[in-house]
Chain A
């Protein structure tokens, strides 16, 4: 069994409303998913829905198995598209930020 992975996840741009109105969460997720693969961001998104999100409006966070359009995922201050997107394998103490884009002005 792989060791659990401690992470900091943050929600901003309004997404914090879906996570008990709290922006920053220190969590620890299993080191492997159900199939024994190293935990990646896709697995983290599922895990957050199942374990951290109390709000029933899942569609405000996920759509078609990934984050909904208009949500950016930032891994250690980089857009996840630069890090392999959902396939990025999480490392201990990674900082993962979920940002909903704003449109007001």
Chain B
């Protein structure tokens, strides 16, 4: 248990981070205002007293040829470089000058600068959103680089936010980037979200997904949520339109779709399950696309976001996009529900409030459950990788590798037998039987896996099968992770 001083120190740190971030945002808008005033002043001095009329309507006066060459930016709503930079998207009716100005005005927050956040940030920066907030508390690792395209080999070890900032600034220096180099926490979530117009959930765990959705509802921000694992991805736009809690005409939130979190043991991370780079890339790019669509929506479509609902209005249903790279069809769109009348976050009966969130009384980690590290064997049944390496390799002992076939084919110890853990003692034992592991009851059996969790479960199953020979089955503590660290540094670190 953390002591109350620790908790206080943590609260103080969060408070400080929160204030620093608010200052940064305030300073950024101050810079914007000063720049606007400067631009305005130089426009006034360039065009003379009679031509300072408001040119922000759809038909700005055509400036004379001289003014055009001298200071183009003064007469037009965008600078000359902005017309060049964004011209290819502006000439489409879906965007136009109107949409480009909406993008320039927009403040977008990206939570999670990983496999989803990198491509999403790149396309939003490229498209010219005015302000782009980046939030992540992690640092860049080599194993991120196959998919997290804003990072670089030379920036391994740097904070993900700073690394992405370097990439994005080089891509488009016109954007105002705000760096939040910490993980989202309930205490400061609201004050950060309030500074933005729309939020992208690019995180990788149910706890953050519920927290981000709850905060989006409380701060009335549309939320573009995506996820990916292995060869599949999912995308959904939530809380759009972002009506206040209790208004059934608002778009559903994450809790409307998933009122109960999945069992913690069913949640796989990219590190455990694997992820194909372009798969998560596709999902991140689609998030940027959906954000651009929301931000540049025409006023007719926004009509439903005003308070006067047409009599025939229906509650807004969400739509879930499922991408499955190796299936046919690859893309599929599913009609989902509208707001849930008893939703814990967005209904009139809600229990999630600004107070319950910022006071920390909503425990997202407990709500989603934790997986505790496996610890099912007594100390005598566990052997360190170092000790195992000292044992003679002879036919008195057998090494059973319980990783799946794909991992086994990447690297394996000579003479080991591959019996992938099936998640169930009986079915695994029968597979072990088929592979001849059980032929000699008296042979010592050593079980190994990637991290040392499944190997314990398999060793336990084996011990119960061999009750007459106690101590004959052992697990290798921390698996091949320990093997690489303590025995063979050349062992592939996949």
Contact = CB atoms under 8 A, between A and B. Distances in A.
Q: Does A associate with B in a complex?
A: yes
Interface of A: 12-14, 23, 55-57, 59-60, 63, 68-72, 74, 77-79, 81-82, 99-105
Contacts, number: 117
Given A12-B322, A81-B337, A103 B258 contact: no
B232 A102 contact: yes
Given A70-B261, A71-B262, A101-B234, 9 more contacts: A69-B261, A72-B334, A81-B337, A99-B234, A102-B227, A102-B234, A103-B267, A104-B270, A104-B273
A101 B275 CA distance: 15
B275 A104 contact: yes
B266 A74 contact: no
Interface size class of B (residues with CB under 8 A): 35 or more
B229 A14 contact: yes
Given A78-B335, A103-B204, A57 B327 contact: no
Nearest to A61: B266
Interface stretch (B66-74, B113-121, B240-248, B476-484): B113-121
B293 interface: no
Contacts of B115: 104-105
B261 A14 contact: no
B337 A12 contact: no
A100 B56 CA distance: 49
Contacts of B261: 69-70
B150 to A, nearest CB: 14
A105 B114 contact: yes
Nearest to B256: A81
B333 interface: yes
Contact of B334 (A14, A56, A74): A74
Interface stretch (B164-172, B184-192, B422-430): B422-430
Nearest to A15: B266
B263 interface: yes
A68 B229 contact: no
Given A23-B327, A56-B426, A77-B333, A104 B204 contact: yes
B228 A104 contact: yes
Given A101-B227, A105-B112, A70 B337 contact: no
B230 interface: yes
Interface in B33-91: none
